[in-house]
A and B are shown apart, each in its own frame.
Chain A
Amino acid sequence: MTALSFHGVRKTFGPTVALYGLDLDIKDGEMITLLGPSGCGKTTALRIAAGFEFADSGIVEVGGADISGTPAHRRNMGMVFQSYSLFPNLSVAQNIDFGLRTRKIDKPQRQKRVNEMLDLVQLGEFAGRYPHQLSGGQQQRVALARALAPQPQLLLLDEPLSALDAKVRATLREEIKRIQTELGITTLFVTHDQDEALAISDRIGVMSSGRLEQLGTPTEVYRRPSTAFVARFVGSMNELRGAVTGDSVDVLSYRIPVPAAAQHATGTPVLLLVRPEDFELVTEPDQGLSGTVTGVTFQGATTIVGVRLDVLDQLVNVETRAGADPVIGSRVAVAVDGTRGVCEPAHVVVAAVSTTAA
């Protein structure tokens, strides 16, 4: 069953187009993330769902009913904002109670629900505190409890973790996922952080310049990016210039089997996008592309080795798990596994040489 759908939703702000006819169906109980750089239209989509903005054309449906013209306060959605936005004059308990009061629920029931919510976000002892007495992470947990208290049909999360520091962000991310799974509430999450999106979502919609580029599970989006934009934006990517030969890409004389290459005619010049973990340092020079180590970044479980390839002077990153890290300046050979590679016709990209990481 569809919980929330956008049908051809278009929105402009003056001369800028924020959304070019967005189509998106979110299933009941699903957590969908809209991921993209700032200005890609993801926040506009969320704000249209919440009723803070209204589309120029197109329809928004909740459970099959058109809500395009319904004002925000009659939509029964819970939203968490990037800037916490707790009401500063109300205590934690009163903040959580706000949505229950507007729904005219009687007092004992409200009291009970507030306590449940406080337990859910593990802030029971903070009920009487005021927002300015709480840390950022605590405030955002209260905001989550406040949004969930009236049992909304949908939970909307607008970059809820962006204002927090790294450690709190990771914990709260897990907590949001736990609560969402526990309650089974349909959730639309908006973020520019790909790690967050990959960790938390059932499905990810990657957006760019007002358009939905790809919609799929985190694995699909990461492993089988459908466009070069998605490939570059989600995770980091190496780019190799080559030419298609059947279902392979030739980088000069080195042949890499790439299933995706088959869509292009033999001889097409392409950019081959391959993730660092699909690269491997090999000992025999004839088994890969030779190059010089330009940088070694230790990352804990893995190490990123930067290599300048002899071929066309291209710079790539190789992710290795090997214990013995190479020395900067040493000569190495790099083998490429092109199974999950993406090909982009090269004439589209002007002067792309180096690697991209996001």
Chain B
Amino acid sequence: MAQVGLARQRLARVVPTLVLVVAAVFFIAPLLSMARFALQNVQVFQLGTSNLFKNWSFSEVTRAFHEPAFGSTLLLSLRLALGTVLLTLGLLIPTALLVHVKLPKARAAVEFFTLLPYMVPPIALVAGVIGFIRPNARWFVSSNYSLIPFYVVLALPFTYRSIDAGIRAIDVRTLIDASRSLGAGWGTTLRRALLPNLRSAIISSSFLTATVVLGEFTMAQVLLKRTFPQFLAEFGRKEARGGIALALLTLVATTALLGLLTLLTRRKGATGRRGGLAETLTAGPITVPSERA
């Protein structure tokens, strides 16, 4: 008799398993077909059982490297990423520390402002750049590096959250008091006591910022800046297979970097983990925006 009940309990697990399998197919299929398109030189309509394992090579992946714009756009994007990371950290760490240590009353206001970028998506922000900033400061917008402050804004909701979570996890007050009572000045306190403890939060917010910048397409496209994503789109229109191969490479590189940084931020003990990458991606007042690219 009890077997009936046991069987029914097992049956209840069928639906979730089915959901997981269907989801796996949906999410893996585009990646697989992208990989085949990039690595196998056989037209889709000719593909059959006989040539399924023929003509695989990495030659398409390296094709983009010979494009003259490849190096310059990648370099620009890397520079933009570096600039955005530095400006983000320089702006947010003092602000977040100040809010925690001296101005807890300002917390709600600061948090509200860090969520504002959600209300102004990149396409609206770039309209503001063209319609408001360019008429007043043409010299500024004409520089490639004028993208940096806007990229800081786009990444703000989750970079701030990451740093905020990191600060919340360590007892900032006690650290400051301990350091100051040992005779350290503010500079030393920041450098020797606070920043090392915020390592994990700094790494993950830097990484998040960098991925946003290296994937951002909207503003660069509308402002006609030759960044890497802009090059990728243009190259793909010209060379379908080469573009897909480069997209695959970009994806693999980003994922590898993500994996590496997840390990980096996880290695430290329980205290270092708050504000880590996994947490920033999965929890908190609001989740990661997609299509910020």
Nearest residue, chain A, Cβ from B5: A54
Q: Interface digits, A55-84 against B, CB 8 Å rule (1 contact, 0 not)?
A: 111111000001011110000000000000
Interface size on A, residues (CB 8 A): 13
Residues of A within 8 A of B5 (CB): 51, 54, 68-71
B3, B5, B6, B9, most chain A CB atoms within 10 A:
B5
Asked whether A71 lies within 8 Å of B1 as measured between CB atoms, the reply is: no
Residues of A within 8 A of B270 (CB): none
Q: Interface digits, B1-42 against A, CB 8 Å rule (1 contact, 0 not)?
A: 111111011000000000000000000000000000000000
A308 to chain B, nearest CB (A): 43
A282 to chain B, nearest CB (A): 56
Nearest residue, chain A, Cβ from B4: A69
Within 8 A of B (CB), among A106-133: none
Interface size classification for chain B? under 10
Asked whether A71 lies within 8 Å of B2 as measured between CB atoms, the reply is: no
Residues of B within 8 A of A57 (CB): 2
A307 to B3 alpha-carbon distance, docked (Å): 56
A279 to B268 alpha-carbon distance, docked (Å): 56
A66 to B8 alpha-carbon distance, docked (Å): 18
A59 to chain B, nearest CB (A): 7
A71 to B7 alpha-carbon distance, docked (Å): 11
B108 to chain A, nearest CB (A): 23
Interface of chain B, main secondary structure: helix
Nearest residue, chain B, Cβ from A10: B2
Interface of chain A, main secondary structure: loop
Asked whether A55 lies within 8 Å of B8 as measured between CB atoms, the reply is: no
Nearest residue, chain B, Cβ from A9: B2
B165 to chain A, nearest CB (A): 26
Nearest residue, chain B, Cβ from A48: B2
Residues of A within 8 A of B2 (CB): 54-58, 60, 68-69
Asked whether B8 lies within 8 Å of A59 as measured between CB atoms, the reply is: no
Residues of A within 8 A of B1 (CB): 59, 66, 68-69
B106 to chain A, nearest CB (A): 30
Nearest residue, chain A, Cβ from B9: A54
Nearest residue, chain A, Cβ from B3: A69
A55 to B5 alpha-carbon distance, docked (Å): 9
Residues of B within 8 A of A58 (CB): 2
A57 to B4 alpha-carbon distance, docked (Å): 12
Residues of A within 8 A of B4 (CB): 69
Residues of B within 8 A of A60 (CB): 2
Residues of A within 8 A of B6 (CB): 54
Residues of B within 8 A of A55 (CB): 2
A186 to B288 alpha-carbon distance, docked (Å): 54
A59 to B2 alpha-carbon distance, docked (Å): 8
Nearest residue, chain A, Cβ from B6: A54
A60 to B2 alpha-carbon distance, docked (Å): 9
Nearest residue, chain B, Cβ from A59: B1
Nearest residue, chain B, Cβ from A70: B5
Residues of B at the A interface (CB closer than 8 Å) are 1-6, 8-9
Residues of A at the B interface (CB closer than 8 Å) are 51, 54-60, 66, 68-71
Q: What are 23 A-B interface contacts by the 8 Å CB criterion?
A: A51-B5, A54-B2, A54-B3, A54-B5, A54-B6, A54-B9, A55-B2, A56-B2, A57-B2, A58-B2, A59-B1, A60-B2, A68-B1, A68-B2, A68-B5, A69-B1, A69-B2, A69-B3, A69-B4, A69-B5, A70-B5, A71-B5, A71-B8
Other CB < 8 Å A-B pairs besides A54-B5, A54-B9, A55-B2, 11 of them?
Answer: A51-B5, A54-B3, A54-B6, A58-B2, A60-B2, A68-B2, A68-B5, A69-B1, A69-B2, A69-B3, A69-B4
* Complex A-B, nearest 4 residue pairs according to Cβ-Cβ distance, in ascending order: A54-B5, A69-B4, A68-B1, A69-B1
